């Protein structure tokens, strides 16, 4: 079987959807199938290649709208040549990541035209963050139009979480179930077995025996990184290691320039992130973003790291019962209280982390998710 994954953004661009696509494509290869990824062109990368995992990649020409966060297909001779080569393959299934990109709409029409079965997997629980006013209204109107166009081609819809499935009803879409984000337990174990870079060891980060809190994510207001840093600043025996890039990074570096307990590492490799989680006393994600099922929560659970987070999408499945501490809001005082609850009672924190890890390994592995996808065909 040949499976074609359409993902408007893909590695090396960091992000949950990008890693979801990569892991599903790798899992398809592991099962003996051919994997193709169709994504957006990036400077310095070839328009067509087969990577080290045996995944064939097509990078279509785009306009990098919103600094590349919303790539828009650029139709023309190069696009036509790539499409002719792509659909020269005998494709058995198209998997379209998310329901809002121009590429998603185009992929739904391209699959329907060629009578290839298509599945749309949505990763959000809200509109794209476009702000208020006319721009926000235009963004919401575009999303409804994009969803209507995709829906007209009759693909099968899934969400990465129950919350994502509920959100799809906003667009008149009735999903068939969930295709959750997941982890690779063997890969996590292999990364954890490697030594951490010297600057990311617990000794280097917490030289005076402080507790270590980790945040991983895009540095944007909706992720709650500013409020988390303020909370940690008020806790003299706690160090925050925050990994990620984004528009707030330089502002935060300036704001906390004199605070040695706020460590802003910038973007890190996946292995460095996993080893950071493996050393942490708490992973904190005070997000207000329209998450689908945050990859970092899955990896924190898979690493056995105690979790403090808002009840965002996916937590009802990933962190049931007493598997984590949840924040009722994201003001610094509330985050501070939550951190004390986790850090001041390590025995209870460890018990919650063990329950979260057990659930993640039982239900949220790439093998299980890929098998679910194949069984639905």
φ, ψ of residue 213 to 5 degrees: the values are -110, 135
- pLDDT of 57 > 90? The answer is yes
Please give the pLDDT value at position 197: 94
> Is residue 377 assigned to a domain?
no
Nearest to 110 by CA among 138, 135, 89: 89
Q: What is the model's pTM?
A: 0.84
Domain ranges, residue 10: 2-179
219 in the Ramachandran plot: left (φ > 0), alpha (ψ -120 to 50) or beta? Answer: beta
Give me the chain's average pLDDT, please: 94
Top-confidence residue, 88 or 136: 88
Last residue of a domain, one of 179, 214, 229: 179
Residue-wise DSSP of 14-27: -SHHHHHHHHHHHH
> Is residue 277 assigned to a domain?
yes
- DSSP letter at 199 equals G
Into how many domains does the chain fold?
A: 2
Please give the pLDDT value at position 371: 92
pLDDT in tens, 267-318: 999 999 999 999 999 999 999 876 778 889 999 999 999 999 999 878 889 9
Nearest to 366 by CA among 27, 15, 10, 123: 27
Top-confidence residue, 353 or 295: 353
- pLDDT of 46 > 90? The answer is yes
Please give the pLDDT value at position 258: 85
Residue-wise DSSP of 253-278: HHHTTT-TTEEEEES--HHHHHHHHH
> Is residue 248 assigned to a domain?
yes
Last residue of a domain, one of 126, 159, 179: 179
């Amino acid at each position: 079987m040949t499976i074609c994954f359409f993902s408007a953004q893909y590695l090396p661009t960091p992000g949950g959807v990008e890693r979801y696509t990569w892991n599903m494509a790798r899992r398809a290869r592991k099962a003996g199938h051919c994997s193709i990824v169709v994504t957006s062109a990036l400077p310095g990368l070839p328009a067509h290649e087969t990577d080290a995992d045996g995944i064939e990649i097509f990078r279509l020409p785009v306009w990098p709208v919103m600094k590349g966060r919303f790539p828009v297909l650029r139709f023309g001779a190069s696009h036509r040549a790539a499409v002719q080569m792509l659909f020269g393959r005998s494709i058995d299934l198209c998997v379209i990541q998310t329901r809002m990109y121009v590429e998603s709409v185009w992929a739904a029409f391209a699959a329907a035209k060629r009578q290839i079965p298509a599945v749309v997997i949505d990763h959000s629980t809200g509109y794209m963050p476009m702000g208020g006013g006319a721009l926000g209204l235009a963004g919401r109107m575009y999303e409804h139009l994009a969803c209507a166009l995709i829906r007209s081609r009759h693909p099968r819809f899934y969400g990465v979480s129950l919350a994502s499935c509920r959100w799809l009803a906003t667009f008149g879409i009735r999903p068939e179930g969930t295709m959750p984000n997941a982890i690779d337990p063997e890969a996590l174990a292999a990364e954890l077995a490697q030594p951490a870079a010297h600057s990311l060891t617990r000794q280097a980060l917490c030289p005076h025996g402080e507790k270590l809190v980790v945040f991983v994510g895009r540095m944007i207001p909706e992720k709650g990184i500013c409020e988390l840093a303020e909370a940690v600043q008020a806790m003299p025996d706690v160090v925050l290691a925050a990994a990620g890039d984004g528009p707030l990074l330089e502002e935060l570096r300036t704001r906390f320039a004199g605070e040695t307990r706020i460590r802003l590492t910038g973007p890190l490799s996946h292995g460095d992130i996993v080893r950071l989680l493996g050393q942490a006393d708490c992973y904190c994600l005070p997000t207000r973003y329209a998450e689908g099922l945050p990859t970092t929560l899955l990896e924190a659970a898979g690493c056995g790291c105690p979790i403090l987070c808002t009840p965002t999408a996916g937590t009802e499945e990933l962190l049931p019962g007493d598997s984590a501490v949840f924040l009722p809001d994201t003001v610094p005082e509330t985050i501070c209280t939550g951190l004390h609850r986790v850090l001041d009672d390590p025995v209870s924190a460890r018990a919650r982390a063990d329950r979260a890890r057990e659930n993640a390994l039982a239900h949220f592995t790439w093998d299980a998710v890929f098998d679910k996808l194949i069984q639905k065909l």
